Chain A
Amino acid sequence: MGIQEKMALGIDIGCSLLAWDFFDVDTVQTHHGRTASVMAGYKMARPERIAVAYMGEGGAYAIGLQSLLHIALRNEPITVVVVNNANYAMTGGQMSPTTPLGAITAFSPRGKEEIGGTGLKGPELLGRVAAKNAWIGRASTENLLQMKNMLKKALANQMENKSFSFLEILSACPVNWKTDATDSFKRLKDMQKDYPLGEIK
């Protein structure tokens, strides 16, 4: 899209921060869960730049949910990318808000029990409060072409409509799920039943 020079990437704490090695753009690392807020502030100061906040689901839905909700509510023109791998991977695979029912993690050794709702559906939640022009969607690393298209739409929405765009990406964590490549994709497909893919708003 030719936006490499104009882009600023904000990264959260967690495995997702390793993204600074992969993208050749300006990056800033923020406090845990505050990436979206920092990038919203950056966008206010430099409206001509393209601000992308890249965070894990622990940072976005657990500790940073209030920032994220209010940014969606105020329709800040930034793109938020949340990588959802259903656990806190960097600290050893603890239970996160999106962990599916029955999944065994370090905090749920007998499988996650139902305590009101299955898992937090971030895009659906934000879709309720976001403005009319906002773009919200969910993709999966299991289907990369769809993911690429959605990412394109999320960035285009920020540039053209000057409004909030949000993309959740379901991802695998073979190390903490203790799966190999085949089982990872199988479990990812199971996750897609709970978290349906597609454009939500």
Chain B
Amino acid sequence: MKKAQIIIVGMGGQGVQTIAKILALAIVQNGCNVSYIPRFGVEQRGTPSVAFIKSDPDKINYPLFNVADWLLILHPGARAEAAGYIDKKTQIIFDSSLMAANQINGNLSNFFGLPAVKLANDNFSGRSANLIFLGKISKELGLPFEVVWQEMLKVLGKKFKSGAVKEEGRQALLAGYESSSEKGIFFQPTHQPSKGMINLKGGGKQLFLAPERCKGCGICIVKCPVGAIKFGRRASAFATPLPEVDLDKCNVCGNCFLYCPDGAIKVEKKNKKYGDN
């Protein structure tokens, strides 16, 4: 493996530091020296999060750098954090499902679009978008898939509560590893995961769900007395899974609205508008 200077930016909560840690460990397994410096705001969620990784077969004298060889942009909200580290040779992998290429400064011939959030929403759960990025950068750096997977098991092993989740994680990683390098100019984001208000009707009730507010804490699921709510496969604005409500089971008790810290979910009897009492 050669020298590489990698920067990963994204929003806190997307798993930027998680994949940076796995990547750093995988590079070590590949016989290279690594330095990894995380940087994020005090709020831990919803603010830009940056990871600096430097790999070198020789000794690393100083862990910081001014220009990145590889730049991964997981969220458009964090692209300003990366702007200072781009030069003509920087290879940029960005989420083409969330942002357009012209939102990023840099040499357009080095842009790779990877519609990770769209891939994750369509095939896996919304949470695994970061793993697709991890797979992609591992491939580009020439790391063997199994090495990365073993390191991922070490770091994320506790989170895989069932075999299905574990397999899904592996598939997401593999999807990123085998994804083609789409080179070109991406004028439009291909995917807008969360805008406006979701309004579903059924069984004489209607559900209001605001993906821009939901942060996927799961309190509504715990507090639902009839177990009508569970996590779905769609993602919210924070790239966390959105809840899904089984309107046939729901008894319109109002607990989800009462307990939701962000006022993101509400079930009403039909023919009422959001905000009416």
Q: Is the CB of A181 within 8 A of B44?
A: no
B245 to chain A, nearest CB (A): 16
Kindly specify which of B51-59, B109-117, B189-197, B215-223 makes contact with the partner chain. B215-223
Q: Is the CB of B222 within 8 A of A90?
A: no
Take A144-B258, A144-B259, A181-B217 as given contacts and tell me if A175 and B44 are in contact as well, using a CB distance cutoff of 8 Å: yes
Take A144-B258, A144-B259, A174-B217 as given contacts and tell me if A182 and B44 are in contact as well, using a CB distance cutoff of 8 Å: no
Interface residues of A (CB under 8 A from B): 15, 90-92, 144-145, 174-175, 180-182, 184-185
Q: Which residue of chain A is the closest to B221 with respect to CB atoms?
A: A181
Q: Specify the main secondary structure of chain B where it touches its partner.
A: loop
Q: Which residues of B contact A175 (CB under 8 A)?
A: 44-45
B218 to chain A, nearest CB (A): 4
Take A144-B258, A144-B259 as given contacts and tell me if A180 and B218 are in contact as well, using a CB distance cutoff of 8 Å: yes
Extra 4 A-B pairs, beta carbons < 8 Å, given A91-B42, A144-B259: A90-B43, A144-B258, A145-B258, A181-B221
Q: Which residues of B contact A145 (CB under 8 A)?
A: 258
Q: Which residue of chain B is the closest to A180 with respect to CB atoms?
A: B218
Closest 6 CB pairs of A and B: A181-B218, A181-B222, A181-B219, A90-B42, A182-B222, A175-B44
A-B contact pairs, 12 of them (CB 8 A): A90-B42, A90-B43, A92-B44, A144-B259, A145-B258, A175-B45, A181-B218, A181-B219, A181-B222, A182-B218, A184-B219, A185-B219
Q: Which residue of chain B is the closest to A171 with respect to CB atoms?
A: B261
Q: Is the CB of A185 within 8 A of B42?
A: no
Q: Which residue of chain B is the closest to A14 with respect to CB atoms?
A: B42
B19-73 contacts to A, CB under 8 A, are: 42-45
Inter-chain CA distance A175–B238, complex, in Å, is 14
Q: Which residue of chain A is the closest to B218 with respect to CB atoms?
A: A181
Q: Which residue of chain A is the closest to B259 with respect to CB atoms?
A: A144
Q: Which residues of B contact A92 (CB under 8 A)?
A: 42, 44
Q: Which residue of chain B is the closest to A182 with respect to CB atoms?
A: B222
B39 to chain A, nearest CB (A): 13
Q: Which residues of A contact B217 (CB under 8 A)?
A: 174, 181
Inter-chain CA distance A92–B38, complex, in Å, is 14
Inter-chain CA distance A144–B263, complex, in Å, is 14
Q: Which residues of B contact A144 (CB under 8 A)?
A: 258-259
A172 to chain B, nearest CB (A): 9
A105 to chain B, nearest CB (A): 15
Q: Which residues of A contact B218 (CB under 8 A)?
A: 180-182
Inter-chain CA distance A185–B259, complex, in Å, is 12
Q: Which residues of B contact A185 (CB under 8 A)?
A: 219, 222
B14 to chain A, nearest CB (A): 14
Inter-chain CA distance A90–B219, complex, in Å, is 21
Inter-chain CA distance A182–B224, complex, in Å, is 12
Q: Which residues of A contact B259 (CB under 8 A)?
A: 144
Inter-chain CA distance A145–B258, complex, in Å, is 9
Q: Which residues of A contact B221 (CB under 8 A)?
A: 181
Inter-chain CA distance A174–B215, complex, in Å, is 12
A2 to chain B, nearest CB (A): 15
- B253-266 Cβ-contact flags toward A at 8 Å (1 or 0): 00000110000000
